[in-house]
Amino acid sequence: MSLPVVEEAARELDISPDLLRKLRDPEIREALEKIVTDRSAGSTENDSGDDVPSDAQPEIDYAVALAEAFDRPATRSRVANNEVRGGAVSNPEVRRTLTHDAIIEDQAAEPLAQDRFRPVPRKVWEAKDSATRHFVEEQYGGRCQICDDTFHKRDGHPYFEALYLVARTKARWIDRPGNVLCLCATCCAKLQHGPVEVDDLMDQILSWRTAHEGGDAPQLTLWVCGAEVVVTFTEKHLLDLQEMVRSEQGGYSGE
Ligand SMILES: [Zn+2]
């Protein structure tokens, strides 16, 4: 196609001329056709594991969702550890030969990089609000609110996980500091995957007062993986969580 024709077609189709030119590549066309076919077959995938919104999404009740986040007891008793077998090699010669042969076989069967991925249609949630993450980094310098641990990454910044207590995909307004904890990787994983329980969550949150108001240290006490842990907050941070719960629930006055 000559240049003016491409430009005109692009305008007509409402896509960029550059993209239209790329469609000349048969591989790109094939990938696009597959996307269209998969989509019409009703296939959807998303990489986040988050819920995909339905058309009519009910309003979130933040206090209820928060209470659910802290009410996740173990669903079965601890699975017995599989017997740990020693890693000693009893016949090095045979094992080396078998290992070597297996590697050579895998290398010989290595596919081209372009054959190791396939395009899939996916829904992507809007980006997190970076101000939320900046807030907790600023408040704690990246230190874990449970164990105080962190380390400095190669780029000089502290490593921390900003864990959303209630999934931010439930509502945009809950993407704010009170809904996020600043944690190390281990404490974050325990909260996400281990049993988590708490006594009197709403009372702990709503009865707290700032030092200026004559209150106590800003902290919450939880049970994580069977151990009692104290989550330490800054006043600004716990106040934000408190107001989130309050703004949602007329009944939760905490007075
Ligand atoms: Zn920690």
User: Does some domain include residue 101?
Assistant: no
Tell me the C-alpha distance between 112 and 114, whole Å. Answer: 5
User: How many whole angstroms from 139 Cα to the centroid of ligand 1?
Assistant: 15
3-state secondary structure of 60: coil
pLDDT of residue 1: 47
Cβ atoms of residues 224 and 196 within 8 Å: yes
User: How many whole angstroms from 188 Cα to the centroid of ligand 1?
Assistant: 7
Strands, E, within the chain: which ranges?
161-164, 180-183, 196-197, 219-224, 227-232
As beta bridge partners, residue 227 has 224
User: Does some domain include residue 52?
Assistant: no
pLDDT of residue 161: 97
Q: Report CA-CA distances (Å) from 77 to 22, 41, 197, 198.
A: 56, 41, 15, 19
Same domain, 16 and 66: no
Same domain, 187 and 139: yes
pLDDT of residue 30: 75
User: How many whole angstroms from 210 Cα to the centroid of ligand 1?
Assistant: 24
User: How many whole angstroms from 181 Cα to the centroid of ligand 1?
Assistant: 11
User: How many whole angstroms from 187 Cα to the centroid of ligand 1?
Assistant: 4
Same domain, 36 and 131: no
Same domain, 166 and 214: yes
User: How many whole angstroms from 108 Cα to the centroid of ligand 1?
Assistant: 44
Domain with 223, as residue range(s), is 62-74+126-248
Same domain, 35 and 137: no
Q: What six digits make up the tokens of 209? A: 């007062």
User: How many whole angstroms from 190 Cα to the centroid of ligand 1?
Assistant: 9
User: How many whole angstroms from 71 Cα to the centroid of ligand 1?
Assistant: 20
Tell me the C-alpha distance between 11 and 31, whole Å. Answer: 23
- Given a cut of 70, the residues of the chain with pLDDT beneath it are 1-6, 37-58, 81-82, 249-255
User: Does some domain include residue 108?
Assistant: no
Same domain, 170 and 224: yes
pLDDT of residue 40: 61
User: Does some domain include residue 214?
Assistant: yes
Same domain, 132 and 242: yes
User: Does some domain include residue 55?
Assistant: no
The domain total for the chain is 2
User: How many whole angstroms from 55 Cα to the centroid of ligand 1?
Assistant: 38
User: Does some domain include residue 182?
Assistant: yes
User: How many whole angstroms from 209 Cα to the centroid of ligand 1?
Assistant: 25
Please give the DSSP secondary-structure letter assigned to residue 222: E
Same domain, 19 and 69: no
Same domain, 234 and 138: yes
User: How many whole angstroms from 150 Cα to the centroid of ligand 1?
Assistant: 8
User: How many whole angstroms from 225 Cα to the centroid of ligand 1?
Assistant: 13
User: How many whole angstroms from 182 Cα to the centroid of ligand 1?
Assistant: 9
User: How many whole angstroms from 227 Cα to the centroid of ligand 1?
Assistant: 13
Same domain, 244 and 137: yes
Same domain, 134 and 236: yes
User: How many whole angstroms from 214 Cα to the centroid of ligand 1?
Assistant: 29
Tell me the C-alpha distance between 199 and 14, whole Å. Answer: 57
Same domain, 25 and 133: no
User: How many whole angstroms from 52 Cα to the centroid of ligand 1?
Assistant: 30
User: Does some domain include residue 207?
Assistant: yes
User: Does some domain include residue 205?
Assistant: yes
